[in-house]
Amino acid sequence: MKTGIAFKALADPTRREILRLLDGGEKTAGQLAAHFPIAAASMSHHFSLLKQADLVTTRRDGQQIVYSLNTTVFQDVVRLLLDIAPRAARSADEEAKP
């Protein structure tokens, strides 16, 4: 699994925000880009990283590329984070859904 890449992907605030937006439902590259004061090309670079990490999937819809959150892999990452420090995580876990 591409764990390392996933953590790196999460290290950037823009990419975290992209994932946040995608959790609300799939969006086109353009729709996503509109949320940031960054050149489209730079956004594309972020998309590429997220894809490498398998955190998002894409499909083409005509002229547009539609991005979706890969929930499966996102879940894997959460689990891996919990694995790093199961003890510490335990109580966060408890509190997460009371």
Partner DNA sequence: GTAATAATTAGACAATTGGCTAAATATCTT
Partner DNA sequence: AAGATATTTAGCCAATTGTCTAATTATTAC
Where along the sequence are the contacts to its own copies (CB under 8 A)? 4, 7-8, 10-11, 13, 16, 19-20, 22-23, 69, 71, 74-79, 81-89, 91-93, 95-97
Residue 89 buriedness (CB in 10 A; 0-12 / 13-18 / 19+): middle
In the bound state with its own copies, the residue whose beta carbon lies nearer, of 60 and 95, is 95
**Sole residue written with tokens 């086109």:** 28
Question: Among its own copies, DNA, none, what does residue 63 contact (CB within 5–8 Å per kind)?
Answer: DNA
Q: How far is CA 46 from the centre of its chain?
A: 10
Contacts of residue 32, defined as CB under 8 A and 6 or more positions apart, other chains included, come to: 18, 21, 22, 43, 47, 67
CB of 58 to DNA, least distance (A): 6
**Sole residue written with tokens 């891996």:** 80
CB of 53 to its own copies, least distance (A): 11
Amino acid at 85: A
In the bound state with its own copies, the residue whose beta carbon lies nearer, of 4 and 30, is 4
Which residues contribute to the site for DNA (CB under 7 A)? 8, 11-12, 14, 28-31, 33, 37-49, 58, 60, 62-65
